[in-house]
Amino acid sequence: MDKTYTESLSVRSIDCDLYGKMRLDALFAAMQEGGETHARLLGLSHQALLDRHLFFVLSRIHVSILNPPRFGQSVRHTTWPGTMNRFFCPRYHVFSLEDGTPLAAAGALWVVLDTETRRLISPIQADLRFPDNSDLPAPVELPNRLPARITSTYSVSQRLVQYSDMDLNGHVNNTRYITWLCDQLGKAAFEHRHISSLTAGYEREIRDEPELEIHLAQSESGFSYEVSSAGAVRHFLALGTFSEDA
């Protein structure tokens, strides 16, 4: 049983913004695909879980970026599961250049849902057998608490869920929230800097919401971002900071 999984990624033009930096949603997509590949090797692929009427959903994530990958670079991505409990299945990710130069790291908490009831199932009760990686040090802290909102003036906008937002699980994919966030921040926010820290919580899946309300608060060094729907139901909350590019 492979405790970790490592892959080499070439940063493609489709992954990059107009400044040649890998977009944050592309980094999230790499984490999702790398994690799925490792889960498949462990016998816990998306299809294997569906056969048991289960699926994984990202609940919380903490990402730390020292330097965003850039167009044409060859990047090494290593991922492994942490020690699960009755609520969460942790997974870690580390990105570096081929010479070992660190780029980014993330700690994510995944939950297991029942495909019919959409309710939480304990991963321990589901008998998900991950390798014992208790000997591997965590590259970042896990997001054990949801981020707090910035107490400042918010801009408010509306958004409709589109065809391209939905995934195999019949809900908005976790990467799409990050796309929306970066779109809302705008291209000028990324010209000479990057999101260096992001803590996000996925609180309730979006399936067929007719209209979403987006709240964004920005300061010189960071931002708070929230997605909600009718009745003030909150689906997603993120808190982040910027750093100047090297």
With a CB cutoff of 8 Å and minimum separation 6, the contacts of 207 are 170, 171, 172
For the stretch 123-158, pLDDT in tens is: 999 999 899 999 999 999 999 887 766 666 788 899
For the stretch 48-69, pLDDT in tens is: 999 999 999 999 999 999 999 9
CA–CA separation, 38 vs 179, rounded Å? 24
For the stretch 82-133, pLDDT in tens is: 999 999 999 999 999 999 999 999 999 999 999 999 999 999 999 998 999 9
Look up residue 16 and give its amino acid.
C
The tokens describing 173, both together, are 């994919």
E-strand stretches of 51-202 = 54-65, 74-81, 89-97, 102-114, 120-121, 155-159, 193-202
Count other Cβ atoms within 10 Å, centred on residue 56.
21
- One of 3.30.930.10, 3.30.470.20, 3.30.565.10, 3.10.129.10 is the CATH number of 5-244, namely 3.10.129.10
With a CB cutoff of 8 Å and minimum separation 6, the contacts of 118 are 205
pLDDT at 220: 81
Among 67, 171, 154, 165, smallest CA distance to 118 is for 171
Q: How many helices, marked H, and strands, marked E, lie in the chain?
A: 3, 11
pLDDT at 232: 76
CA–CA separation, 116 vs 128, rounded Å? 19
The tokens describing 233, both together, are 């139901």
pTM above 0.85, yes or no: yes
Ramachandran quadrant class, 14 (left: phi over 0; alpha: psi -120 to 50; beta: rest): alpha
SS3 156: strand
For the stretch 209-222, pLDDT in tens is: 778 999 999 888 89
CA–CA separation, 94 vs 104, rounded Å? 6
| Sequence ranges of the domains in the chain | 5-244
